[in-house]
Structure 1
Amino acid sequence: MPPKVDAFRTADVLQGRQRMPKGSFLGHLSSETWKLLVNAWGSDARVYERDEVLPTGPDRQYVHIVLGGCVRQDRFPFGDDDGSPTITRFRGVGQVLGEAKLIEPRSHVLTTCLTTTWVMPCFVPRMHAFFRKAPDVQLALLRSLEDRNRSDEIIYTMAARTPLRRVAGLLAHLAEGAEATEATEATEAPGNAPGASLGARVTIAGPSQKDMAAALLLGLSTVENAVRDLRNSGVLDNKYRQFVVSDLAALHGIAAAVP
């Protein structure tokens, strides 16, 4: 059986009742096909604690589907010597990790859990078999990767935009993923009608300001100043490894404003 931990709504996720973030692999996948994947690998799902590194090394022939939590992925295009530049991205619920192994088995991206994280490992040869038998699995993956690439371009590579808008954009993106999970919980809470929303406050757990600085290629003090400005504007409150967005629409407005 999958790990039973209070941090996750395991039955809702495995039975396809939890809404997945728009653009994610599980967001594109049909509920019928998701059941096939759960039957194949649901019992192998496990939880990793914060700061644990997922087993995604060159000798590991699995891709992982994130069922709960948030991870940081680091690639080292010029080697991993001290001081070498890295490419840092955040991935969350519904996303596939290690998809490059489907075409290059020894590929490797350093993947570190930023929160308690629940993942389902999928054996690469069997994933290829699923692609042949259920083409919608392959299509869902391709669509999610295209959505992710477009999202990454806007969030991580717009160096011409101001640090405030870049930080706001990253936080808004992370909040959207958190909002999908929280909205499901709110809808199913006693007394709430179907379709009821959680409200304006969305909690983002995982990335620290230092993590955000690495992902956006900004100085830590620059990110701290941007977070302070967002806090002073009333759209955000921050704690250790946690941000609480009080006005998501306003945060999107700051991120989308013309420089």
Structure 2
Amino acid sequence: MVPKVDAFRTGDVLNGRQAMPAGSFLGHLPPGTWPLLVSEWGADSRVHQRDEELPIGPADEQVHIVLGGCVRQERHPFGTAEGAPRITRFRGVGELLGEAKLIEPHAEVRTTCLTTTWIMPCSAQRMNLLLRKHSSIQLALLRSLEDRNRTDEMLYGTMTRPPLDRVAGLLAHLAEVAGTPGPDHPDHITILGPSQRDLAEALLLGVSTVESTLRLLRLPAADGGLSADGVLRSGYRKFVVTDLPSLRALAGLA
């Protein structure tokens, strides 16, 4: 049954009427191929609440497509002992999660919903069959993974860039892949879920550094900020980007 959630335009998404973020798996799908996935797994789509973990463990046999919301993925390349480093990434609408299971069934990645998140689970075995049968879908996935790698390198891997550039860049990215336009101000993009600590861990910055940077983004230029009216409002696990073009310019993404 299609989930009845006010936050998502379920009919538009399942009928292919909602544009997907550029570079995402669904964004790369050519016209006419999305109905194939919906006919196979659309009825299995489900909603997970904030802080729920998605079933992408060693024993699970599914990959997942994000239809709405945002998740945090964590990898532990040196083990899970206390103090061991971890890699944190955010994934939004249109992304395929758990893609490693398509080549290694026992692969895992800890994936936590940062807000109410709408997911379409897909059998990894059936997805592999679909990819072999439809080269255009396979190509869309490969292109999306390459775009994801390049975006990850730009957002998370440029350690020599100033914190302002990096925080602004990550917020601009989240606004584009997981943001929701405001009903009264469509140019105001709301990002729900990530906390300041989440941003700090993803960017390998101190929480105090992230807090200082967010303060600059909130302030108008007259009060020492970086933009005429400020580009950001923030609350508990909530960011509202009020001027996305200016935020992108601050990040060097314009």
How large is the RMSD of aligned CA atoms in angstroms? 1.6
Which residue does the alignment assign to 1:115?
A: 115
Query: How far apart are the structure 2 equivalents of 1:25 and 1:64?
Result: 11
**Quick check: 1:46–1:120 contact (8 Å CA) kept in 2?**
yes
Which residue does the alignment assign to 1:129?
A: 129
Which residue does the alignment assign to 1:225?
A: 212
Query: How far apart are the structure 2 equivalents of 1:70 and 1:165?
Result: 22
**Structure 2 residue 240 is the aligned partner of structure 1 residue 244:** yes
**Quick check: 1:70–1:92 contact (8 Å CA) kept in 2?**
yes
Amino acid at match of 2:199: M
How far the C-alpha of 1:4 sits from its partner, in A, is 1.3
**Larger RCO, structures 1/2 (Cα 8 Å, 6+ apart):** 1
Q: Secondary structure at the match of 1:256?
A: coil
Query: How far apart are the structure 2 equivalents of 1:239 and 1:111?
Result: 23
Amino acid at match of 1:129: L
**Quick check: 1:178–1:202 contact (8 Å CA) kept in 2?**
no
Query: How far apart are the structure 2 equivalents of 1:74 and 1:21?
Result: 22
Residues 64-105 of structure 1: CA deviation (Å, up to 9, x unaligned): 000000000000000011111000000010000000000111
Query: How far apart are the structure 2 equivalents of 1:100 and 1:178?
Result: 22
Q: Using the aligned pairs only, state the percent identity.
A: 64
How far the C-alpha of 1:133 sits from its partner, in A, is 1.5
**Structure 2 residue 179 is the aligned partner of structure 1 residue 211:** no
Higher relative helix content = 1
**Quick check: 2:68–2:178 contact (8 Å CA) kept in 1?**
no
**TM-score, normalised relative to structure 1:** 0.91
**TM-score, normalised relative to structure 2:** 0.92
Residues 46-77 of structure 1: CA deviation (Å, up to 9, x unaligned): 11000000011101011000000000000000
Which residue does the alignment assign to 1:11?
A: 11
Which residue does the alignment assign to 2:175?
A: 175
Residues 164-187 of structure 1: CA deviation (Å, up to 9, x unaligned): 1110010011111245x64xx97x
Q: Secondary structure at the match of 1:203?
A: strand
For structure 2, the 5+ residue unaligned runs are: 220-224
Which residue does the alignment assign to 1:155?
A: 155
For structure 1, the 5+ residue unaligned runs are: 190-197
**Quick check: 1:44–1:120 contact (8 Å CA) kept in 2?**
yes
Query: How far apart are the structure 1 equivalents of 2:178 and 2:76?
Result: 28
